Amino acid sequence: MSSTTPPLTRASVVEAHERIKPYIHLTPTLTNTTLSDLASTPQSKDALRGTPWEGQEPAKPRIKLFFKCENFQRIGAFKVRGAFHAVGRLSEGERAKGVVTHSSGNHAQALALAAKTFSIPAHIIMPTISTPSKIAGTRSQGAHIHFSGSTSEEREAVVQKVIRETGATFVPPYDHPNIILGQGTLALELQEQTERLIEGDKRLSVEVGKGGLDAVIAPCGGGGMLSGVATALSGTGIKVFGAEPSFEGADDAKRGVEAGKRIERVKTLTIADGLRTPLGELTWSVISDKEKVHNLYSVTEKNIKDAMRLVLERMKCFVEPSAVVGLATILYNEDFRRLVEKEGGEEGWNIGVAFSGGNTTVEAISKIFAAPEERAERAEGVVGKDGERVAENVAG
């Protein structure tokens, strides 16, 4: 993409926000007492059986949760932020020839919408295995869809063919400054909305004792959102964390940072399908910087399912599996919970949770929860008399 590219700074995110405000929704930041109480309640020792923390004393953090609900964003995901920012920075000559990208869903729909808004052609390369609802959503925006195989080589070959034939500008899904800066705008809103919520609700300020966020946790696939959040909150004192699925090596960012080298290929069928992508070179440079991203954590498929059930049933909020990986980390990853207990102390932490999107279907959700043996154990309450959770990964 040959459009102008500002530096990756908080000031650039603020500028990006002003540019895209006319085209995006100001999505709500919500609280939920039940989930904050659950996050602040130690896991039962039974729940830790069979995990890396078996036999250890459960952590006892104090946590207040603030959910940035990008599932209510246009096209149902945060991706429109980066897409509108990237298209908005193209020259008139570039726009005239259109844009092209490869994406299995959310970025595809986002770029198609941005292109439609600016009345320019959009060419979207989608793997044939893409979710039917996301293909339909992309097509409904008037985009030209080109199908490809699922490997990066197959997608890139079709991209290059379209560029040769049309002269369209490639707008990558995540690994570009304009995309990263656009995605980071959600963190600016989350920070301000949280401060207003606490200021306007004495219960929140008394309960937690602070006036703003201590940390934000965001899901990590290609790393565009996490890089954007880290850039937006740089210098604010708010710690930024990343969350990934562990299934079939989907936690490539975590493993790469631990090894000191970017993992370039990932092959996983985690239910968090939006997080199956490895980091790009640019997002790696941000996410591997400990000054920008404090740490990364991973969770199991069961953790994701249980967190998703909680959001659906307790928050009445329609989300896709990728959206709840951060919440799953807060609820079930003892390494993260111990960190909050240690650094938050008696006051605890206000934690912002990025819900990345809600692009799934009732049919897909039904399949996720179809097998009885995979369902989380149900319970009437959240906390038992002994002060521990009444059941493993309570989801009732």
Catalytic center residues: 79, 104
**What is the Cα–Cα distance from 365 to 367, expressed in whole angstroms?**
5
- Residue 72's φ and ψ, nearest 5 degrees, are -95, 5
